[in-house]
Amino acid sequence: MPPAEPYPLPLPLLLATSMAVLLAGACATSARRLQPRALELQASGVEALGRGELDRAAGHFALALEFEPRLGEAENGLGLVAVRRGDWTRAEERFRAALAMNEELAEAHANLASVLLHRGEHDAALVEARAALAIDPGYADARLIVGELLLRLGKLDDARWELEKLCAAAPGRADARAASALVLARLGRIAAAEDEARAALAIDPMQPMAHRARAEILRRTGDLEGAAEELAGLIAADPGSIDDRLAHATIMAARGSWAEAARALAALASAAPRRAEVRFALGFVALRRDDLPLALQEADAALALRPRYPEAKLVRAEALARLGRGFEARQELAAVDVRAMPELADERTRIERTLGRGRPLLEIK
């Protein structure tokens, strides 16, 4: 069983596409007549944001709020300025303030979802992204966020359905086709995934998500070196990408380079201490290196960050079983609901059958 979400969609791209919506139409107003000067300043802020002039954009948005104190679009704009500056806490405050002014502002729901996703709060992020779609079912960027969240939560069929709708509505979007390719690959539908990845790269040869999908396809077809090369290119372009570095560590583990994978994951845990999938992967690698106390510690850390994490529960159950704590292992296995993720049923059955024998069961597939 591979570490969960080895190639999640890139958060910076989601925020960028949400910003594109802002740039295209953030001047939408409520039913009541708004102060004209506020709208002029809001429009100027949008233009400055598009040029990357963050101070100027912030000034325009802030002044717009002085003319129209309940202009949610201006608060949303200030949130996006905060995102560009890397101030996630401030960004969340701004997006929540925008929604307090106008709870029907779909862009603020989607942007808040992206912030929550960045923090690893997947369930809360999904609520916000779906709120955006409830307001505007045609909001493509919100649907892309929903697709990513479902992918991260292991709900592959649901993710596929959302992305299929997105591709049908916007067949020319490279990010949508690439996301679809990634989900198809995770579902084991390799030929269909190849088609979608090729379509994405034909639209945009530099689309990072398409290269992630290619890496997943190569990994699943046994070409670990090819997958590593795809990921190395992505990491070279963005050395700070936690997702791509995690995927690369997964390849190391698949090749049996356990010590190398452990070092890479330890560095990731320092860089992204709230990423549950990093702690899960550390636990998985520790299990294969027979460091059972560390495996249990990392599984616990992953579950503290994401209580509903069945893969981490399986790592914890096996570590407990191999430590001779059979009663606790059985309790953990009983808590793994495989109905939502049928692909985990075999892993749970193998642990149940060999409980107490001290044999490693989880495998990279």
The answer to pTM > 0.85 is no
Domain limits for position 71? 1-154
Q: pLDDT per residue over 3-42, tens digit each?
A: 444 333 333 333 433 444 444 344 444 445 778 898 899 8
Give the pLDDT of residue 174.
94
Would residue 302 be called left, alpha or beta, if left means φ above 0 and alpha means ψ between -120 and 50 degrees?
alpha
> 10: closest CA among 140, 152, 132?
152
Whether 134 maps to a domain, the answer reads yes
Number of domains in the chain: 2
Residue 183's Cβ-side half-sphere holds a number of Cα atoms within 13 Å equal to 27
Does 19 share its domain with 131? yes
pLDDT band at 73 (very low <50, low <70, confident <90, very high): very high
Burial (CB count <10 Å: 0-12, 13-18, 19+), residue 29: middle
Give the CATH number for residue 322: 1.25.40.10
Residue predicted with more confidence, 337 or 228? 228
Does 1 share its domain with 148? yes
Asked whether residue 352 carries a pLDDT value surpassing 80, the answer given is: no
Does 136 share its domain with 275? no
Whether 26 maps to a domain, the answer reads yes
Q: pLDDT per residue over 150-202, tens digit each?
A: 988 888 899 999 999 999 988 899 999 999 999 999 899 999 999 999 999 99
> Of all residues in the chain, what percent carry a pLDDT higher than 70?
86
